[in-house]
């Protein structure tokens, strides 16, 4: 068996490594630093953002069991490739999204995969992933290797926002499994799973239009806004959990809800830091921070810095894309982190 290697950067390397280790055909992984200017950097040096290195994962894989295009699908699926130098709460160039290609064949496939994913529209914003020539890979300190396995912890530091399965990968699976049925060959080859924070929720546009009301669709998929004081939850006082009306993910606790006087339901924090994604929104001649459901990437509203203690934030949401489950999971009410 002749192994091949692939190197990816997609945010905190603990979660990225955990995602790739779940893939059949991946023989071994190592986390480390690459793409910078400092020889043999330490984690402390990389964290200064001065070395130029990215936190990366080097994957050794058996090409008879998994292809490079399938690994690319896993890469797109286990992080948000539209956030520049940031993944969730981690920010800095060490957390950039990058594919470090080893040769012309990898570059060709990476370019084709990126174009297909970009054209598919599965990600709402432009992909900022770099495709660059591979550089020397410096393994990270031992305590970083297979971090979650050593700690016996759930892989909770990573948040993906889409389940990507390209035709490029589908063809590679079919070629490898030419003796199998096409139905089997078209199954997604790599899935980070809920355990690494990635839900891989996906519905087609037609399915969404059938599921949602016109108002819900306009808000969730076209970043619309309901009229103030018109939504069903702006003056809601019952206890419970507010879920995403599109995919059902838990978003806010009623314990974090407050009267903002704006005419929209307002919360000082999401139910946990992984429930939402925040992105810069420069539309309508303003600079605001858009809030999305981290599971299905539906637009929820915006967050402002004029809220009450303890956060000082106001998550101004649209009622139409929320679904209050009254009294649901009462032990979670008040568990805002």
Q: Which of 12, 78, 192, 296 is catalytic?
A: 12
The token pair at 86 is 């940031």
Active site residue 12: yes
d(CA 154, CA 208): 31
For strands 266-267 and 54-61, give the pairing. Answer: unpaired
Scanning the chain, the segments in alpha helix (DSSP H) are 13-21, 43-46, 68-77, 104-120, 147-151, 167-176, 182-185, 205-211, 214-222
Supply φ then ψ for residue 224, to 5 degrees.
-80, 175
Give the β-pairing of 97-101 and 130-133: parallel
Structure tokens at 299: 């637009």
247's tokens: 């995919």
Q: Catalytic one among 78, 247, 296, 316?
A: 316
Catalytic site residue 293? no
CB 192 within 8 A of CB 198: yes
Catalytic positions, please? 12, 316
């Amino acid at each position: 068996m002749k192994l091949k290697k692939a190197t990816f950067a997609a945010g905190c390397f603990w979660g990225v490594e955990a995602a790739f280790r779940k893939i059949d055909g991946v023989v071994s992984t190592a986390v480390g630093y690459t793409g910078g200017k400092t020889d043999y950097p330490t984690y402390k040096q990389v964290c200064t953002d001065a070395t130029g290195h990215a936190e990366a994962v080097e994957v050794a894989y058996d090409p008879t069991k998994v292809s490079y295009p399938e690994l690319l699908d896993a890469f797109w699926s286990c992080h948000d490739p539209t956030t520049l130098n940031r993944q969730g709460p981690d920010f800095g160039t060490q957390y950039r999204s990058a594919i470090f290609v080893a040769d012309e064949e990898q570059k060709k496939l990476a370019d084709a995969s990126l174009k297909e994913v970009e054209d598919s529209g599965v990600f709402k914003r432009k992909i900022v992933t770099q495709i660059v020539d591979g550089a020397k890979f410096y393994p990270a300190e031992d305590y970083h290797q297979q971090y979650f396995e050593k700690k016996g912890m759930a892989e909770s530091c990573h948040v993906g926002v889409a389940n990507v399965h390209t035709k490029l990968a589908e063809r590679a699976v079919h070629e490898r499994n030419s003796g199998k049925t096409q139905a089997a060959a078209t199954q997604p080859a790599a899935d980070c799973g809920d355990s690494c924070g990635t839900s891989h929720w996906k519905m087609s546009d037609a399915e969404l239009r059938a599921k949602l009301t016109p108002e819900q669709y306009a808000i969730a998929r076209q970043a619309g806004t309901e009229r103030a004081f018109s939504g069903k939850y702006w003056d809601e006082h019952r206890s419970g959990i507010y879920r995403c009306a599109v995919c059902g993910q838990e978003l806010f606790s009623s314990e974090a809800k407050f009267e903002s006087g704006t005419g929209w339901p307002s919360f000082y924090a999401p139910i946990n830091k992984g429930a939402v994604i925040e992105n810069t929104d420069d539309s309508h001649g303003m600079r605001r921070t858009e809030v999305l459901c981290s599971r299905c990437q539906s637009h929820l509203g915006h967050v402002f810095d004029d809220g009450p203690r303890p956060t000082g934030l106001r998550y101004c949401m649209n009622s139409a894309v929320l679904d209050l489950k009254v009294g649901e999971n009462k032990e979670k009410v008040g568990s805002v982190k």
